[in-house]
Amino acid sequence: MSLFSVHNASDGTFVLYLEEQDANLDLLEDVVGQVPLLALSRLAEHSQIESLKSEQAARLLDKVRSQLPDVCVKVASITEDEALALAEQLIMSVKFARAVAGKSTKLELVK
């Protein structure tokens, strides 16, 4: 399994997933270390899709989000090989998006 995977979304954006279980746990530990659990609980409670159907609920979510502290989460520490693999996946996703859009796909990773 790769540390990351890259996917093309239907809206033209690129979605980057952190795949490795230990890396995901490291990320969660970093978040929990920076943000109080009560704040995370309130955020989870108010960010449910069905709760955003009203303007009042959306405003409440904005209020909850504004009360969270600023955080800077380390997504992963990666080796050179993992960085190159990620770069290669990103280039492949951009090539695919360009091909779908009828643009030039001439991109390559030089190692």
* Tens-place pLDDT, residues 64-98: 999 999 988 888 889 999 999 999 999 999 999 99
For the chain, strand residue ranges (E) read: 4-8, 14-18
**Number of helical H runs and strand E runs in the chain:** 4, 2
Residue 12 lies in a domain: yes
pLDDT for position 109:
64
Residue 110 lies in a domain: no
Question: What is the total count of domains within the chain?
Answer: 1
Pick the closest to residue 6 from 100, 109, 96 (CA basis). 96
CA–CA gap between residue 53 and residue 34 (Å, rounded): 30
Structural domain for 14, as ranges: 4-100
Digit-coded pLDDT (tens) for 38-56: 999 999 988 876 666 788 8
Residue 95 lies in a domain: yes
Residue 108 lies in a domain: no
Find the farthest-apart pair of alpha carbons in the chain and give their distance in angstroms, rounded: 52
Residue 72 lies in a domain: yes
pLDDT for position 111:
66
